[in-house]
Amino acid sequence: MSWIDWSIVAIYLAWIVWAGAGYGRKREGLEDYLLASRSMPWWAVGLSVMATQMSAITLIGTTGQAFDDGMRFVQFYLGLPLAMIILSITVVPFFNKAKVYTAYEYLERRFDTRTRSLTSFFFLVSRCLGVGVIISAPGVVLSAILGLPLWITVFAIGLTTTVYTMFGGIRAVTWTDVRQMVVIGVALTVVFIIILNALPTGVGLGDALETAGITDRTKAIDLKFDWNEKYTIWSGLIGGLFLMLSYFGCDQSQVQRYLTAKSVDEGRRSLMMNAVLKVPLQFGILLIGLMVFVYYHYVEPEVVFNPVKREMLNEQHPEEFARIKERYRNAFEERQTAAELYTKGSEEKRARLDYIAANEKMIAARKEALEMVQEGGYNDVNFVFPTFVTKHLPIGIVGLFIAAIFAAAMSSISSELNALSTATVIDFYRRHFRAEESDEHYLKVSRFFTLGWGLFACIVALYAANLGSLIEVVNKFGSFFYGSLLGVFVLAIGVKRATARGAFWGLLIGMAVIGLLNNLDSIASTWELLTGSQALYSLAENLSVSYLWYNVIGCLVVVLVGIVLGSSDKKEGETASP
């Protein structure tokens, strides 16, 4: 990068840390530090909610996902608008009336201390893993692109965010989120315009979409029902609905956002803002990734986008890698010729077949190179968009994009760290260890835990590299926990006969069932090693489901167990009554 780009990044970081830390001088007690005295305007809360979910993984992973797989990933968000409506009617007024600091605080009033503590504990585990991946994504990519050690980029992102979150509290988180959303919006708009202008003369948006459509990358909706298919309209509307209900309704990082709103109506407006804007925003980000795919029809793409891995192949397998690159280049030229004929309408059917054949050759060559990087295959889709930006965009825009990656990462990290600290202090430290201390004491402890979680998340991030498409990884982590957590709140709010025992054991059994589903292949392999029998493989194949359905299954299991045990408890109580 040029000195201009570095200057833009440095100015951005200094601006955000200075602005965020400045809110620490305006605090007025624990409620102000954790909930901004419930005084935030709806539009700021709405942007903060949106920024919390849109991490750097969204910029890096979603664009790479579209490059690799097209627009299908947008189906993941189809359940979100309905979830926002449901939560606006139910959860927002409910938590506002309860006057709680955390979502899990209510569970003690409804059930008992152990249910509250267990639920909050699972939140801490899920968010700790999630924030580690959120830091890892931009850390790994920027490390490779900028040529810096991983620990430098990870701690640059993680600790700068920790500083202003630690001193500024929830006000700093919310108002820096607003600033960061502006930076992200400007960067994405500028990059999209530049990509369109970089296409050859006479190739417009319609031509680009037509080219991408040859391989069905413009197909955004899949109507077939398949448990194993990750992205269909059904997994999005049903599995995605349960995921969004849990994330926005039970996850402290989101609940805490709308607990800061001035009123119930303002909290509802913040969620409805997301209902209206989130799907179009994700569609736009996917469209940018799709345009990068089309751009690489006219400029030869890299066989391996990760520059570190590419250099490794050049050094360790020079002759074999050179042969792969030659095949890749020839296939690229064949695809380019076929694409030009197709968009011109010249021998369209034959051009389409030639295009598909050439594209398959490119995919095969790239797959072979990635298998050389790592046995069993390696996925570098997270490097597609950053490589495009740093190699093909003008000076100044590169710095703006790197600043946008920092902005997207920091907006999510700050919210997660603030929520982790709040849950730790309110649900564990104040509840179980020091219940009668002053606000000043809890403020100091909150800052201490924010720093601790920030350092710990950076360490997790160092071990979270090379996990494939990180946009999928972070949602898989969430789906492992979210459905079961949602089930506990469904019991608490919607099932009058639910009891503490039912909620507690329902949560444990729900988590166990999801853990079993997630590890069926490993269990089948272990069984084969121990017994020599392959009987469990067919069972594993029949029970295998895509991770989005974990949210539905986990919730239903918890609710079912809770109702059964709750009814049993009620009958025992009635029998014992005189």
- Of 388, 414, 413, the residue nearest 401 (C-alpha): 388
**Contact, 84 vs 279, CB < 8 A?**
no
- Backbone φ and ψ for 445, nearest 5 degrees, come out as -65, -40
pLDDT of residue 248: 85
For residue 40, give the 3-state DSSP assignment: strand
State both tokens at 91. 């959860």
Query: What's the rounded Cα separation, in Å, for the pair 477 and 124?
Result: 12
Query: What's the rounded Cα separation, in Å, for the pair 140 and 128?
Result: 18
pLDDT of residue 342: 81
Query: What's the rounded Cα separation, in Å, for the pair 256 and 244?
Result: 15
Query: What's the rounded Cα separation, in Å, for the pair 337 and 358?
Result: 10
- Of 24, 39, 21, 33, the residue nearest 101 (C-alpha): 33
Instruction: Measure Cα distances from 200 to 205, 267, 295, 327, 335 in Å.
Output: 11, 47, 9, 24, 16
**Kind plus residue range of the DSSP H or E element containing 252:** helix 252-259
pLDDT of residue 578: 44
Query: What's the rounded Cα separation, in Å, for the pair 336 and 296?
Result: 9
**pLDDT of the chain along its 578 residues, tens only?**
678 888 888 888 888 878 777 766 665 677 787 787 888 898 988 888 888 777 777 778 788 888 888 888 888 888 889 999 998 988 888 888 878 888 888 888 888 899 999 999 988 988 888 888 888 877 877 787 777 887 888 888 888 888 888 887 788 888 888 888 888 888 889 989 988 888 888 788 888 888 888 888 888 887 887 767 777 888 888 888 888 888 888 888 888 888 888 888 988 999 898 888 888 888 998 999 999 999 998 889 989 888 888 888 988 888 999 999 999 999 999 998 888 888 777 677 888 898 999 999 999 999 888 888 876 667 778 788 888 888 888 888 888 888 888 888 888 888 888 889 999 999 999 888 888 888 788 888 988 999 999 998 888 887 765 555 555 566 677 778 888 888 999 898 888 888 889 999 999 999 888 888 777 666 666 666 666 666 665 655 666 677 778 888 889 999 999 999 888 766 665 554 44
pLDDT of residue 532: 63
Query: What's the rounded Cα separation, in Å, for the pair 568 and 561?
Result: 11
Query: What's the rounded Cα separation, in Å, for the pair 6 and 12?
Result: 10
- Of 261, 250, 236, the residue nearest 72 (C-alpha): 236
Amino acid at 197: N
pLDDT of residue 207: 84
Q: Which residue has the tokens 């833009």?
A: 8
Contacts of 78 (CB under 8 A, 6+ apart): 233, 236, 237, 240, 279
40 - beta bridge partners?
Answer: 261
Q: Which residue has the tokens 């493989």?
A: 537
- Backbone φ and ψ for 261, nearest 5 degrees, come out as -65, 155
Query: What's the rounded Cα separation, in Å, for the pair 223 and 221?
Result: 6
pLDDT of residue 528: 61
Is the Cα dihedral 178, 183, 186, 188 positive or negative? Answer: negative
Q: In the CATH hierarchy, which fold is given to the domain comprising 3-297+389-515?
A: Sodium/glucose cotransporter (1.20.1730)
For residue 261, give the 3-state DSSP assignment: strand
Query: What's the rounded Cα separation, in Å, for the pair 334 and 355?
Result: 7
- Of 91, 101, 98, 37, the residue nearest 424 (C-alpha): 101
Query: What's the rounded Cα separation, in Å, for the pair 14 and 147?
Result: 22
pLDDT of residue 577: 41
pLDDT of residue 151: 84
Q: Which residue has the tokens 């069984």?
A: 527
Query: What's the rounded Cα separation, in Å, for the pair 154 and 137?
Result: 9
Instruction: Measure Cα distances from 424 to 25, 110, 124, 351, 420 in Å.
Output: 23, 20, 8, 61, 6
